[in-house]
Amino acid sequence: MSDIFVMIRNQDNNALTSIDGIAFVTLLRQDGQPLAEETFDLIYADAGFDDLPVGEYTVVVKHELVEPQQTTYDVKIISEDEVILLTFVYLEPEWVFLRIRAAVEKRL
Average pLDDT, the chain: 96
- Tell which CATH classification among 3.30.1360.30, 3.40.1480.10, 2.60.40.10, 3.40.190.80 matches the domain 2-106: 2.60.40.10
What is the maximal distance between C-alpha atoms in the chain?
A: 39
d(CA 67, CA 44): 22
Which pTM does this prediction carry?
A: 0.94
Predicted pLDDT at 64: 96
SS (H, E, C) 66-86: CECCEEEEEEEECCCCEEEEE
Q: Domain limits of the chain?
A: 2-106
d(CA 7, CA 94): 19
DSSP secondary structure string for all residues of 14-61: -B--EETTEEPEEEEEETTEEEEEEEPPTTT-EEEEEEEPSEEEEEEE
Q: What is the pLDDT of residues 78-97, one digit of tens each?
A: 999 999 999 999 999 899 99
Which one, of 103, 94, 104, 102, lies nearest residue 11 by Cα?
94
